[in-house]
Amino acid sequence: MKITMYSTSLRNSQRMVHFIGDSYTNLLEYRKNYHTNSNDFLHPQAVTGFTDAEGTFNVHFRKTSKTLVGWLVTHQFKITLHIKDKDLILKLREFFGVGNISINSEAGTASIYITNLEQLTNVIIPHFLKYPLVTQKQADFILFKEIIEQKKQKEHLKLEGLIRIFMLRKHLNLGLSAEAQKFLDSYLLENPNLASEFVVTRPVIKPTTQLEPHWVSGFVSGDGSFFASIRKTNKTKIGFRVTLSLSVELHIRELDVLESLKSYFKCGNVNPGTKRNLAKYSSQHFINICDMVIPQFKKYSLIGVKAYDFNDFCKIADLMKSKDHLTESGFNQIKEIVSTMNMRRPFDTNLDESCD
């Protein structure tokens, strides 16, 4: 699949590099060839899991004099990551076979975004119908899909159709902008019958009790964290204790998803918490890390740079299993590994075979 440079420009003093593919890729052919080289291909469920963590479905309104209704409606599916994950962005572009890539070196981000109505209709929406989202992002997808259907039928070019799209958008993500909400309130005040005719509520997403393994790895690739903590203690000769942990922190509305992760791994704890409305799943018992957590991600690979963190996670686990962490030499190895994990990792690190 060929990806060619589309344009290079300067915007707001931020260098933006854009790419666009020159043709559609046969997504079914991509999936058929998935098992030929699992390191080069993304599993569809992993893509959905990663989207649950990092993807967004959005619709924007802008006033314009170019339409009879006075508003322009645009739509977008987007995944934005740290620039160190630009290779994963390219893989996602290859997976879907459609979309644009934007690399913002000033902000340090890389994105894939799809705005084309045909591509959203024929590629993006069918994927998430076949491999549904699990988190509350599924509700955003359902609303987004309905808006796309309305646009396909040209409803956005009629005032009542536009109002329905506004009402759908009101329940998507964080709701309408102040300007759009003011327009909607004013119109419904003048047309009270439409308020009852166009009743829209946010879809209710039922908890998923059984998670798909590839989805789990895709989701953890986005929202999970592998940590190795070092604390002082008087219980070892070297005076330090090493603890490994996997954690996933989400908004409290995703508490059911965290409980499902606990059931999936058959270990760990969920802390509902109240801090910033966040809840957290964590597993740090060493036996569970070795028997439940590590085997999951050895069998169902993580995607993106999170695989590097897991690779280091495995190295430390191996040192702990052999009791080398209790020696000065082994402890120094762990300190060296920890010093380059997660946010401290250089971008040019190569993944070795430790966790294969």
Residues 46 and 154 in one domain: yes
Residues 183 and 289 in one domain: no
- Give which of 217, 256, 244, 253 is closest to 314, Cα–Cα: 244
Partner residues linked to 111 by β-bridges? 80, 102
Q: Is residue 75 part of a domain?
A: yes
Element (H, E) at 243: strand 240-251
Query: What average pLDDT does this structure show over 85-101?
Result: 96
281 with 248: CB under 8 angstroms? yes
Q: Which of 197, 226, 252 is the last residue of a domain?
A: 197
Percentage of the chain exceeding pLDDT 90: 63
- Give 34-98 as a DSSP string: GGG-TTTS--HHHHHHHHHHHEEEEEEEEE-SSSTTSEEEEEEEEEEEEGGGHHHHHHHHHHHS-
Residue count (the chain): 356
244 with 284: CB under 8 angstroms? yes
Q: Is residue 250 part of a domain?
A: yes
Domain count along the chain: 2
Residues 168 and 226 in one domain: no
Q: Which of 1-5, 100-104, 118-122 has the lowest mean pLDDT?
A: 1-5
The residue among 31 and 88 whose pLDDT is bigger is: 88
d(CA 32, CA 60): 36
SS3 labels along 173-233: CCCCCHHHHHHHHHHHHHCHHHHHHCCCCCCCCCCCCCCCHHHHHHHHHHHEEEEEEEEEC
**For the domain that residue 173 is a member of, what is the CATH number?**
3.10.28.10
Residues 279 and 170 in one domain: no
d(CA 203, CA 65): 33
Q: Which of 163, 197, 231 is the last residue of a domain?
A: 197
Phi, psi at 157, each rounded to 5°: -90, -5
pLDDT given for residue 40 in this prediction: 64
Quick one: tokens of 65? 């004099």
Q: Is residue 354 part of a domain?
A: no
Residues 43 and 143 in one domain: yes
Q: Is residue 352 part of a domain?
A: no
**CA distances for 168 relative to 4, 85, 184, 275, angstroms:** 36, 33, 11, 30
* Amino acid letter, 332: N
Residues 27 and 174 in one domain: yes
Residues 221 and 193 in one domain: no
268 with 287: CB under 8 angstroms? no
Q: Is residue 160 part of a domain?
A: yes
What's the pLDDT band for 274 if we cut at 50, 70, 90? low
What's the pLDDT band for 105 if we cut at 50, 70, 90? confident
Q: Which domain holds residue 156?
A: 3-197
What's the pLDDT band for 188 if we cut at 50, 70, 90? confident
pLDDT given for residue 34 in this prediction: 43
Beginning with the edge strand found earlier in the chain, give each strand of the sheet holding 278-283 in spatial order. Answer: 224-232, 240-251, 278-283, 269-271
Helix (H, G, I), strand (E, B) or coil at 297: helix
d(CA 353, CA 307): 11
Residues 82 and 162 in one domain: yes
Residues 103 and 222 in one domain: no
Q: Is residue 208 part of a domain?
A: no
CA 41 to chain centre: 17
Q: Which of 167, 197, 227 is the last residue of a domain?
A: 197
Residues 186 and 217 in one domain: no
Residues 171 and 227 in one domain: no
Query: What average pLDDT does this structure show over 118-137?
Result: 97
pLDDT given for residue 19 in this prediction: 43
Q: What is the pLDDT of residues 286-336, one digit of tens each?
A: 999 999 999 999 999 999 999 999 999 999 999 999 998 888 889 899 999
Output the furthest CA–CA distance in the chain (Å, rounded): 78
Query: What average pLDDT does this structure show over 185-202?
Result: 82
Q: Is residue 356 part of a domain?
A: no
Q: Is residue 323 part of a domain?
A: yes
Torsion angle of alpha carbons 100, 131, 58, 82, nearest 10°? -50
Tell me the whole-structure pTM to 2 decimals: 0.85
Partner residues linked to 3 by β-bridges? 21
Residues 183 and 220 in one domain: no
173 with 253: CB under 8 angstroms? no
